[in-house]
Structure 1
Amino acid sequence: DGTPPQLPEDTLLLVIEASNTENAPKVPYAHTVAFSHYNHISGQLPIDPKTGKMVAGGVKEQAGQCLKNIKAIIESVDHVMDDVVKINICLKNIADIDAVNEVYTTFFTSDLPARTTVGVSAIPMDALVQIDAVVSNAEGTPPEA
């Protein structure tokens, strides 16, 4: 049923911690920041962490790589994709939404998380898609960072 609202005095014990993993592309910012009962996953581009280059192919391949990177980050903080409560997807061409959905649904085994998908005029590195996520601990206790 979710975490109850917190009293101001309870915020002194909140966890705020950033972390990175070698299993996602090297970037000049945190892959994830744990805050309270959530891990916020930074927007992921379709970069192969082994090569540091954008994956070949179209929007399906790019969305798949973004989600692989998110999965690696989530697993690095001892969670699974089914702990995701919110996904944001930025598409260079909003008409690609059906192609992205084909790949997207394969990354989850239970109910799909809440999601926002928007069309944008540009994405870094001229990528076709960028995806970020929010992970929660269902028991209402702070996630490990």
Structure 2
Amino acid sequence: MNKRVISTDQAPQAIGTYSQAVRVGDTVYLSGQIPLIPETMTLVEGDIEAQVRRVFDNLTAVARAANGTLADIVKLNVFLTDLGHFPVVNQVMTEYFAEPYPARAVVGVAALPKGAGVEMDAVMALAD
């Protein structure tokens, strides 16, 4: 198995024992992103909409580092500390994705790293 680690300074650096993404063949596994500002590694200020946008921006940067785009994402997992924010995710997602949308799961969780309100990870399929 040939796996390649994907890394960029345009997204938050890993804060643990993981890679921002790993490519195996045509598949790229993007690690969870929380709304950290890459330059400061602090949470973005603002409401849940600002947090969701920052997470999509971070995922965009990692996808780009893997020579892909959000359009290449085939599976998106969303973790929310308040499922009442689900409509905000849907609304903002339409600005970052076009049909056909990726498969998706949304899960309510008790807490996320650094007190974030949202985290997302993804699987991206690329052509050789």
TM superposition score category, shorter chain reference: over 0.9
Question: Normalising by structure 1, what TM-score?
Answer: 0.82
Contact 1:105 1:112 (C-alpha < 8 Å) held by counterparts: no
Unpaired runs of at least 5, structure 2: none
The alpha-carbon deviation at position 109 of structure 1 amounts to 3.1
Q: Does 2:84 match 1:81?
A: no
Aligned partners of 1:57 and 1:91: how far apart in 2? Answer: 16
Aligned counterpart, 1:19 = 6
Aligned counterpart, 1:50 = 39
What residue identity is the alignment partner of 2:26?
H
The alpha-carbon deviation at position 37 of structure 1 amounts to 2.2
Aligned partners of 1:60 and 1:15: how far apart in 2? Answer: 38
Percent of aligned pairs with the same amino acid:
31
* Equivalence map 1:2-13=2 (5 Å): none
Secondary structure in 1 aligned to 2:86?
Answer: helix
The alpha-carbon deviation at position 95 of structure 1 amounts to 1.1
Q: Does 2:22 match 1:33?
A: yes
Higher strand share: 2
- Select the structure of larger CA radius of gyration: 1
Aligned partners of 1:99 and 1:109: how far apart in 2? Answer: 16
What residue identity is the alignment partner of 2:110?
S
Q: RMSD of aligned C-alpha atoms? A: 1.2
The alpha-carbon deviation at position 19 of structure 1 amounts to 2.0
Q: Does 2:56 match 1:67?
A: yes
What residue identity is the alignment partner of 2:8?
T
Q: Which runs of 4+ in 1 moved over 2 A?
A: none
- 1:102-129 deviation per Cα after TM superposition (whole angstroms, max 9, x unaligned): 1112111331100000000111111100
